[in-house]
A and B are shown apart, each in its own frame.
Chain A
Amino acid sequence: KAGVTQTPRYLIKTRGQQVTLSCSPISGHRSVSWYQQTPGQGLQFLFEYFSETQRNKGNFPGRFSGRQFSNSRSEMNVSTLELGDSALYLCASSAHGLAGGTDTQYFGPGTRLTVL
């Protein structure tokens, strides 16, 4: 099976712009979670989608949003970019739909976002 894929792999934007990142889960996986990884804060949970519904959300401002499509592919959007949004954005998929962070998650390679 192909792993989790994320596009694009690298992105450079300027402050105030918006960005959309895409994630394709492993075939058959219905849950997609998004994380932000920075050297200072580590891996922080953004949100989780299951069957096109946001099931859980982390402590991030409303500028961060996401959605999931009927084929389980997911996108996340960041509006009005700030310098502090520079990070590696990781997507993870899981197979069984177990809630509460108890399902085995498989990560993609991430999208490296740089905000200038």
Chain B
Amino acid sequence: GENVEQHPSTLSVQEGDSAVIKCTYSDSASNYFPWYKQELGKGPQLIIDIRSNVGEKKDQRIAVTLNKTAKHFSLHITETQPEDSAVYFCAVGGGSQGNLIFGKGTKLSVKP
């Protein structure tokens, strides 16, 4: 079945710096790649998603890049702010298992 690996598990950056989180997957049939942000005591919130017919997507300070050949995709957050501190999850859909498979999460801390 699909295997989704997410790195790093923790990431600490200074306010204003960039943060990059990477995910790899194994099922070449997968074609949907969302990213979620989860704050303490809340459910995951979709922040950006990409489908396999595009290689990059941007939304203000957030961007996602996809390399289908290498089976990896990355979340880029620029000009980080303290309110970006949260746990970020990547997910993969469209593969043989028929549901979203999540990475283990990255705890991002942005220090003022």
Contacts and interface: CB of A to CB of B under 8 A. Distances in A.
Interface in A16-53: 33, 35, 42-45, 48
Contact of B105 (A42, A99, A104): A42
A101 B101 contact: yes
B45 A58 contact: no
Range class of the B interface residue count: 20 to 34
Contacts of B94: 100-102
Range class of the A interface residue count: 20 to 34
A101 B99 contact: yes
Contacts of B28: none
A35 B105 CA distance: 15
A104 B104 contact: no
Contacts, number: 64
Interface in B19-43: 31-32, 34, 36, 41-43
A101 B104 contact: no
B112 interface: no
A8 to B, nearest CB: 15
Interface in A89-110: 90, 99-110
Nearest first, the 7 closest Cβ-Cβ pairs linking A and B are A101-B93, A107-B43, A43-B102, A101-B100, A101-B99, A102-B32, A102-B94
Given A105-B34, A106-B46, A107-B45, A100 B99 contact: yes
A45 B89 CA distance: 14
Given A101-B93, A101-B100, 18 more contacts: A33-B100, A43-B44, A48-B99, A56-B99, A58-B99, A100-B93, A100-B98, A101-B92, A101-B94, A101-B97, A101-B98, A102-B51, A103-B93, A104-B46, A104-B49, A107-B45, A109-B41, A110-B42
